[in-house]
Amino acid sequence: MTSASSANSKQQTANSKSLLSAVCCVLCAIGALGLPIVLNAYHIEVLTSALIYALLALGLNLIVGFTGVLHLGYAAMFAIGAYAYGMLSVYGRWPFWLGVPPAMLIAGVSGVALGIPALRVRGDYLAIVTLGFGEIVRIAFTNLEQWTGGPNGLLGIGHPQLWLPGRGLFNFGVASSPYYYLTLLCVLIVAGLSVRLSRSRLGRAWIAIRDDELAAACMGIPVLQLKLLAQGLGGAVAGLGGAIFAAKQGTITPDSFDFILSVMVLAMVVLGGLGSVRGAVLGALVLGTLPELLRGFDQYRMLLFGLSMIIVMRLRPQGFFGGFRHRRHVHAA
């Protein structure tokens, strides 16, 4: 057997394995679809915000997980998406579905713009630039009161409406479950695209940049361009999350987008395993629901939350699905 054909047979095992994992995903998805029937409204609410976290973690995974750029201002992308849709809705009466693409576009362009200092600034210095950018955006939304409503928030953002056969125009309203389904759908789409990207020429180039930037460049990989691409995509995903968040809340205030949010999303990505798509989702679901699970401990819960982050990093530094084994599983079989 020549190595080329053995590569192909390996490819087939890879296909059968990915079929297996696809079946698992479908089963999980069916389970997820059924959850709102079993759970009460409060639990659905918690799950919905965990899913929004998952969307953010998937987006940040493109930046930190794939290209290795430490980004500490990701909440700003989320904020930009939320305010973009919010302002289009409040001032322009734009419907949700029309507002989402510009929200994603604006957040994506901001993501690319934020990547520009990377032309000169690197490493931890770049991380602090992203942190500063995050703070600047939050303070700007707080202070531009005449447009954003300032600290009191932007009020009266429209909920999505959907025309359903037989039921006419359905307004998502304030109940959680429609948003739960919408976010779930978005998470599945973004996760699916991320997995495909990670197995592609681009995904390999991103990982190569993360592992060794200089060696990647010497292989002809345009490092800066691909980093900017990842930041733009990551920004657009955060913009999508922001638009959903704004539509669900109806009111957004700048303090929903503080530095702690950036840090939490980063922790989700690292906890899941850098570069792992399912890890990002799982990390978000765990960290997104953990504070609620710890609610019984009342005021000790954030203390325990911090402690569990320290313990997980000590016991499993590569995260849930990190390290090479996972990658081999995903890529070559």
Partner 1 sequence: MSTLLEIERLTRRFGGVIALDDVTLSVAEGELVGLIGPNGAGKTTLFNCVTGVLPPTSGGVRFGAQHASLAGMAPHEVAQCGVARTFQNNRLFASLSVLENVMAGAYLRTHAGLWSAALRLPEARREEQWARQRAAQLLEEVGLQERMDEEAVSLPFGLQRRLEIARALASEPSLMLLDEPGAGLNPTEKQQLLQLIGRLKGRGLTVILIEHDMSVVMPVSDRVVVLDDGKVIAVGPPEAVKRDPRVIEAYLGSRSASDAAR
Partner 2 sequence: MTPLELFAQQLANGLTLGAIYALIALGYTMVYGVVQLINFAHGEVFMAGAYAAVFAVLFVGVSGAPWGVALGVAVGAAVILCAALGWAIERLAYRPIRQASRLNAFITAIGMSLFLQNALMLIGGATDRQFPAIVPALRWEVAGVTVTLIQLLVWGSAAAMMAALQWLVMATRLGKAMRATAQDLTACLLLGIPVDRIIAVTFMAGSSLAAVGGVLFGLQYGTINFHDGYLIGMKAFTAAVLGGIGNIPGAMAGGLLLGLIESLAAGYLSAQWKSVFAFGVLVIVLLWRPTGLFGERVADRA
Query: What is the binding site for partner 1 (CB under 8 A)?
Result: 2-4, 6-8, 10-11, 193, 196-197, 199-205, 207-208, 210-212, 214-223, 229, 233, 275, 323-324, 327-328, 331-333
Nearer to partner 1, 48 or 198 (CB): 198
200 contact choice in partner 2, partner 1, none (CB below 5 to 8 Å, kind-dependent): partner 1
Nearer to partner 2, 113 or 202 (CB): 113
| Phi, psi (rounded to 5 degrees) for 322 | -90, -175
121 contact choice in partner 1, partner 2, none (CB below 5 to 8 Å, kind-dependent): partner 2
Least distance from C-beta 254 to partner 2, angstroms?
Answer: 12
Show the binding pattern over residues 206-225: x = contacts partner 2 (CB under 8 A), - = does not: -------x------------
The interface with partner 2 within residues 88-147 (CB under 8 A) comprises 117, 120-125, 127-129, 131-133, 135-136, 139-140, 142-143
Nearer to partner 2, 40 or 299 (CB): 299
Question: SS3 sequence, 18-54?
Answer: HHHHHHHHHHHHHHHHHHHHHCCHHHHHHHHHHHHHH
Residue 191 near residue 185, CB atoms below 8 Å: no
Element (H, E) at 220: none
**What helix, strand, coil percent values describe the chain, rounded to 5?**
80, 5, 15
Least distance from C-beta 142 to partner 2, angstroms?
Answer: 7
Least distance from C-beta 243 to partner 1, angstroms?
Answer: 20
Neighbours of 228 (CB within 10 A): 21
Tokens coding 123: 């490493």
217 contact choice in partner 2, partner 1, none (CB below 5 to 8 Å, kind-dependent): partner 1
Is 201 a binder of partner 2 (CB under 8 A)? no
- Scan for tokens 């930037």, then name that residue: 213
Nearest Cα to Cα of residue 76 among 124, 126, 149, 133? 133
Is 263 a binder of partner 2 (CB under 8 A)? yes
Tokens coding 52: 């929004």
Nearer to partner 2, 78 or 180 (CB): 78
| Phi, psi (rounded to 5 degrees) for 168 | 70, -150
3 contact choice in partner 2, partner 1, none (CB below 5 to 8 Å, kind-dependent): partner 1
DSSP code, position 154: B
Please give the C-alpha separations between residue 189 and each of 214, 224, 237, 279, 330, in angstroms, as whole numbers. Answer: 33, 27, 11, 16, 18
3-state secondary structure of 161: strand
Nearest Cα to Cα of residue 78 among 114, 44, 103, 97? 103
Is 70 a binder of partner 2 (CB under 8 A)? yes
Least distance from C-beta 58 to partner 2, angstroms?
Answer: 18
Is 170 a binder of partner 2 (CB under 8 A)? no
CA distance 328 to 122: 29
Which positions lie near partner 2, rule CB under 8 A?
A: 64, 68, 70, 117, 120-125, 127-129, 131-133, 135-136, 139-140, 142-143, 213, 259, 263, 266-267, 270-271, 274, 299-300, 302-303, 305-310, 313-314, 317
